[in-house]
Structure 1
Amino acid sequence: MTLSEMDDYPIHQVSEVIRHVGTSDRNFYDRYYFNCHGDMRGDDPDPWLIVGLGVYPNLGVVDGFAVVRRGDDHIVVRASKALGDNRNDLSIGPLKVQVLEGLQRLRISLEPGHGDVSFDLVFDAAGPAVLEPRHFQRQLERVTFDTMRFVQSGAWTGALTVDGVDFDVQPDTWRGNRDRSWGVRPVGEAEPPGRRAADSGASSFFWIYAVMRFDEFAIVVVVQELRTGERIMGDAKRVWNDPAREPEWLGRVEHEIEFVSGTREPARATLRFVKPDGTITRVECEPQVANYIGFGTGYGLEQDWRHGMWQGDEKVEALRNKISELDPTMKMFCPVDHYSTFTCTVGGDVFTGDGLFEFAVIGPHDQYGFADYLATAP
């Protein structure tokens, strides 16, 4: 049993050193997610950058990725290494996350020389971090999801280079959100499904995760449904930039998605949040640029690189694809992060903003007429 510098802080939750978590479940994880965007409108939008870093204590692995969408280019740098004793070391080769001020300022960096992207960026929160509902799902007797997550919107400062083009990232025009999640979810090498392979009802996955940034507040929405529309989780909150104001629950989430013909990608979406007293908040979503985060980053589309999979003591890879050449069928089997614009109507007030609309409908879904895994919109 080995100590680290973190063991000198009074933060223990179980009778173990910090490097050992309170469960032996192989699927325990602890992860960071960030996105960063500038001016995404017009014929030549700025890059749409997404970065993730995850720690998998019971697999002995830490890994991360950076993925950029720019025009027709899908650029990935991914890195993995053996997890060491020090949980305060959030670096994997050229990729690094630093907590400069908890719940307020974080730094992400990717050194040059590893593919066609590099950056050194600082995230400053625009408002408080807000906890989402606990995500719990059981398939037969196995707990497949038991996670917590908080989310926060903010602005970016620093430098980003893509294909030799330098972008001066300034907080008046470069925004985004970040989240932290931890708990149990499927990670690492795929496990034999056993009897769960026959439980087809649990394999459908409908998902909306939206983080909308307006001038004085953000709206955070999360929805997971089964094929029938039965909710695994659902929540919508307005989070004020002013930390003295409590987050406001907006009501039950209802959704109407219009799809791009021949696909399962959203052309636009309408979200309604309905309170018991009949108050309705309505949001119109217009997706602008899609980042196909499932390709090359570890979310499960490729069997040789999955989050938490053992890749050796240290491994760094760079990948590049054309969006126009991505397999359209595989696009349907992982959430897609859409930079989107939003119009929010509350009573007689109208607000405009932008941010993240993450969406997936995998498998059958009755409301939208998808009878099987390969069905697409007419």
Structure 2
Amino acid sequence: MSISSWDDFPVHQSPDWIRHVATTDRNFYDRYYFNLHSSSGELFAIFGMGQYPNLGVHDAFCCVARGAKQHVIRASRPLTDRMDQTVGPIRIEVIEPLKKLRVIVEPSEHTIAMDVTWNAAIRPIPEPNQHIRNEGRVVFNTQRFAQLGRWEGTLSVGGEDFQVTPDRWGGARDRSWGIRPVGEAESDGIREGSNVMAGMWNYFPMLFDDHAVLYLNHEQPDGSRKLVEAKRIWADGRPDEELGRPEHDHTFESGTRVLTHSTISFPESGLEIDCEPLLVNYVSVGTGYGMDADWRHGMYQGPELVVQGKVYDVDTEVKPIGQYGVVDHVARFSYEGKEGFGLYEHGFFGPFPDYGLNDGAAVAP
């Protein structure tokens, strides 16, 4: 049915129904991403939900790193009313737009249950548009905003229960939409062998007591940068500070593509931030970000709701492949006597000679 509840609101962006987006590109998506941590290496949870109107799919996941295990629950169903933010046991409620959201994973036979509410600590930050064309086709054309905040509620993983309180449980979220590769893998054709995300990806949103720092860098193997952001955002509403061109100095775990430490500097602003990862979450495995042939964001799983649970051993089942995708950590950040926590996300795709990664399979010495 074309008509849905959203059509009763003045939010249309084209002459069509809300159910039908303004582009016919199969890869149009609309997605939430959240992370949750205890400002320590205790656990690190990542969860999200996406709608894919031109693929007719609505899916969601929650992935929790705890000790030597990575727990995943994931769900998929055909897309119906876009206002319905429920996929099986996973539900998102927007209580106050841009300020307060609730995320629920109902208890089930699987190893994760959660009922947490997120409150914004800073205003949402619009990030640069990511636009990448490859051999004539637009592969990425996305818009995103980022925001940091505090969590409260309850979380259960692997039989352990945690009380989530805003004094120490924080996290970042983003909302993104547009065009990026989703669903079943397509034939590459003329694009065979090319990698539009080649190079280094860094994304470090950091929350301090009265401000946040947002560092983003997609740097190609030749040193050119496709996407960069570096700013400081004050909680009291002062104007954002542009920090200037960022520079990076990364340390790898030997024999891997996993970072163990970073120093990010902003010479124009005189800032240098020490980055210490505390716990890793290989979000590319089990959640739909591309490492699983049978479960990708937007992949059709059949006419009925599908819910699956997974428990992986990190060192043997996840790390060997997950290190070649996007790798998320909770991390401690410090500069000028200030301490904060947040997301330390990196990926090295293909060669990156500056750090000794001379081909797509290479690892750090």
Does the TM-score normalized on the shorter chain lie above 0.5? yes
Shift of 1:344: 2.1
Corresponding residue for 1:373? 360
Distance 1:114 1:246, change over 3 A: farther
Corresponding residue for 2:145? 150
Choose the corresponding residue for 1:271, options 260, 264, 268.
264
Shift of 1:198: 4.1
Alpha-carbon distance in 2 for matches of 1:137, 1:13 = 23
Alpha-carbon distance in 2 for matches of 1:2, 1:193 = 32
For the Cα contact (< 8 Å) 1:159–1:169, is it kept in 2? yes
Choose the corresponding residue for 2:209, options 204, 207, 215.
215
Q: How do residues 157-172 of structure 1 correspond to structure 2 at under 5 angstroms?
A: 157-172=152-167
Distance 1:100 1:253, change over 3 A: same
Instruction: Return the TM-score normalized by structure 2.
Output: 0.97
Alpha-carbon distance in 2 for matches of 1:331, 1:300 = 10
Say whether 1:301 aligns with 2:288: no
Shift of 1:333: 2.2
Corresponding residue for 2:32? 32
Residues 219-269 of structure 1 deviation map (CA, whole Å, 9 limit, x = unaligned): 111111221121110111111112x32222111111111111111111101
Residues 299-332 of structure 1 deviation map (CA, whole Å, 9 limit, x = unaligned): 1111110000000121000001111212544123
Corresponding residue for 1:250? 243
Q: How do residues 321-332 of structure 1 correspond to structure 2 at under 5 angstroms?
A: 321-326=312-317, 328-332=319-323
Gaps spanning 5+ residues in structure 1: where?
A: none
Say whether 1:351 aligns with 2:351: no
For the Cα contact (< 8 Å) 1:229–1:366, is it kept in 2? no
Q: AA paired with 1:24?
A: T
**Residue identity (%):** 43
For the Cα contact (< 8 Å) 1:116–1:164, is it kept in 2? yes
Alpha-carbon distance in 2 for matches of 1:272, 1:40 = 23
Alpha-carbon distance in 1 for matches of 2:265, 2:16 = 46
Instruction: Return the TM-score normalized by structure 1.
Output: 0.94
Runs of 4+ in 1 over 4 A off after TM superposition: none
Say whether 1:74 aligns with 2:70: yes
Say whether 1:261 aligns with 2:254: yes
For the Cα contact (< 8 Å) 2:44–2:329, is it kept in 1? no
Q: AA paired with 2:226?
A: I
Alpha-carbon distance in 2 for matches of 1:53, 1:218 = 25
Gaps spanning 5+ residues in structure 2: where?
A: none
Q: How do residues 104-253 of structure 1 correspond to structure 2 at under 5 angstroms?
A: 104-199=99-194, 202=196, 204-242=198-236, 244-253=237-246
Corresponding residue for 1:5? 5
Alpha-carbon distance in 2 for matches of 1:12, 1:57 = 15
For the residue of structure 2 that corresponds to 1:333, the secondary structure is: coil
Corresponding residue for 1:320? 311
Distance 1:198 1:175, change over 3 A: closer
Q: AA paired with 1:80?
A: S
Q: AA paired with 2:33?
A: Y
Alpha-carbon distance in 2 for matches of 1:95, 1:328 = 26
Corresponding residue for 2:18? 18
Alpha-carbon distance in 2 for matches of 1:319, 1:328 = 15
C-alpha RMSD over aligned residues: 1.3
Alpha-carbon distance in 1 for matches of 2:349, 2:320 = 11
Shift of 1:203: 5.5
